[in-house]
Chains A and B, each alone.
Chain A
Amino acid sequence: MTTATRSPLAAVGSALVRDGSGPTAPGRSVKTPVMPRVAAMLVMAVFTVYFLLPIWWLLVAATKTRGDVLSTSPLWFADLNIVENVRDVLTYRNGLFGQWMANSALYAGVGALVATLLAAMCGYALAKYRFRGREAIFNIVLGGVLVPATALALPLFLLFSRVNLTDTYWAVLLPSVVSPFGVYLARIYAAASVPDELIEAARLDGAGEVRTFFGISSRLMTPALVTVFLFQFVAIWNNFFLPLIMLRDERKFPVTFGLYQWNTQLNQIPELNTYVLVGALLSIIPLIVAFLALQRFWRGGLGAGSVK
């Protein structure tokens, strides 16, 4: 079964870039009646509005002054105030917002990078070496995939408070570098895309196991690794419970949690109204850019043709 080697998340990546090869791909086209086509396009168009309208609204609202947000048409621009708005957000409370964005980049960037490296190594070993306890390790890790991360937040807090590490960067960063799902994905992908003959050949050439992994195997695993990185990045960027339970000092907040805090103070501090909207817009731009920029890496198939 070939589809089993494609993880659901890697599938998301390739589905974004690949084109449909449905039952009637162009070339052997079968005439379809007009009515179903119109109905289908209508459905797709209506839901496009549903998915994009809130983001469009946010984009428009972020360009307005606080008064205009409520008094002018919600879906079209009034006086463009975006530059002042952004400057206000960035300078408010000594650049707190910029600090939050940097924190998020640190938590998600470093966390996802380390998580990907560890998962790649472990998954590769589980796929390519036979050793005692291998299946046991894999099954425990697989069980870990089903343990919801939020169930760990409270015990992690209790453990970290024993060693006085709560309210530090480590408290959010350390638990983020463990991705059982990444190991699962790396194992499946390594088994399918790194040929044993290639590893044997590297051995005959005198390359050590570690060097073979970093020089050859990890490159063949790139599409899977990009996927692991991306989804771990998103998971950390979106994580709410861990910062909620671990962090007190607002200078250490990730941006989502910081905006949540501002949002709870809307009634006391009305100017936060604009800041929350502008901040929300600024905070989603990096993720959208990351998704678009990394799209082409998800294409996969680097290893095809290396053994023929």
Chain B
Amino acid sequence: MTTATTARPAAPPAPGRPQRHRSRRYGRAITFFVAPFGVLFLAFYLVPIGYAVWQSMLTVERDGTFGAARTVFGGFTQYQQVFQHTEFWESIGRVLLFGVVQVPVMLGLALVFALLLDSPLVKGKKFFRLAYFVPYAVPGVIAAIMWGFLYSPQLSPFTALTANVPVLGADLVLWAIANVVTWVYVGYNMLIIYSALLAIPSEVYEAAVLDGASQTRIARSIKIPMVMPAISLTAIFSIIGTLQLLAEPQVFRSFSSAVTSTFTPNMTVFTTSAVPNTSLAAAFSVVLALATFVLSFGFLKFSQRREAR
């Protein structure tokens, strides 16, 4: 995705006219177009990031046990705490486990549905497209509340099932949440992949069809390789989403005591900031953002290298 965008040339400068001149001529218009977004992006993206880093360097000191607290520059002391904080690393491990299972399942389903929709096997494509996409219109909080009711032994209409399977117990609750996330996002990811399939010109597989290649063969040898960029993209968004999990598990705290206040990294950030220990919470945020960035960027590079081969 980035290669295609950064390589895209802009309007070429008019022949015989130096580029610098052009830029000065429209300088005021450019400022008018760019400045509003630029200022707000600075104020609500870049400054907060810088502030979080700064805040994470601070530490609270006291003179003796009862002395007045004062905030001083502490360098990386908060980060030492971050690395010793077992709950935080447990929460990271939990969402990684969640991601390793849930993301492939979700994207696998999305790919299968997209291929089926694109094949001549399925009738009523319009209906299925819409039906599968509808859960995306349900906010994460609401989806979690709905499924929470469906799971809960006290509230569920399906008591026969929920009474016998401890869906909300310590062992299964992570996967109960995984099901909620899958339910919401499969249709959305399916449409991204499906649209990439629609963009393949039909000449590409005309020869294969004439040679009598089966649908599965066409899917495996032509379609899937051609939609790999779309799949990588959905994977990156899913990885980011997984590390940021917050709303669904936070809602599930009302239904299950197995969901602790430090169940996911973002819940740990919130719990720590409510203590209030803002410096440590800021350090958690910085580490989490870095981890997210490294993971998604690494995945991007990895998939680009594979495509290039």
Contact = CB atoms under 8 A, between A and B. Distances in A.
Interface of A: 1-6, 8-9, 11-12, 14-16, 18-25, 28-30, 32, 36-37, 40-41, 43-44, 47-48, 50-52, 54-55, 57-58, 61, 69-70, 73-75, 118-119, 121-122, 124-132, 134-135, 137-142, 144, 146-152, 154-159, 174-175, 177-178, 180, 183-184, 187-188, 191, 196, 199, 208-210, 213, 234, 237-238, 240-241, 244-245, 256-257, 259-260, 263-264, 266, 273, 276-277, 280, 283-284, 287-288, 291
A52 B131 contact: yes
28 contacts: A2-B199, A6-B199, A8-B192, A8-B234, A8-B237, A16-B130, A47-B109, A54-B135, A55-B138, A75-B157, A121-B37, A141-B41, A151-B52, A154-B269, A154-B281, A156-B48, A178-B40, A180-B41, A209-B29, A238-B140, A257-B141, A259-B141, A277-B149, A280-B142, A283-B142, A284-B138, A287-B137, A291-B137
Given A54-B150, A128-B11, A260-B250, A70 B157 contact: yes
B267 to A, nearest CB: 10
B119 to A, nearest CB: 6
Contacts of B209: 23-24, 28, 30
Contact of A121 (B34, B116, B150): B34
B257 to A, nearest CB: 12
Contact of B11 (A19, A196, A210): A196
Contacts of B133: 12, 16, 291
A40 B116 contact: yes
Nearest to B2: A142
Interface residues of B, number: 118
B139 A284 contact: yes
A69 B56 CA distance: 49
Contacts of B99: none
Contact of B10 (A29, A37, A130, A238): A130
B135 A256 contact: no
Interface of B: 1-2, 4-6, 8, 10-11, 13, 19, 22-23, 26-27, 29-30, 32-34, 36-38, 40-41, 44-49, 51-52, 55, 109, 112-113, 116-123, 125-126, 128-143, 145-150, 155, 157-158, 183, 186-188, 191-192, 194-199, 202, 205-206, 208-209, 215, 218, 229-230, 233-234, 237, 240, 243-244, 246-247, 250-251, 253-254, 266, 269-270, 273, 278, 281-282, 285, 288-289, 292-293, 296-297
B134 A52 contact: yes
A125 B30 contact: yes
A130 B22 CA distance: 8
A121 B33 contact: yes
Given A126-B34, A284-B137, A15 B2 contact: no
A12 to B, nearest CB: 4
Nearest to A257: B141
A25 B202 contact: yes
A120 B70 CA distance: 46
Contacts of B251: 260, 263
Contact of A6 (B34, B142, B195): B195
Given A129-B30, A131-B27, A183-B37, A188 B11 contact: no
A20 B118 contact: yes
A11 B195 contact: yes
B37 A44 contact: no
A4 B1 contact: yes
B5 A4 contact: yes
Contacts of B49: 147, 151-152, 155
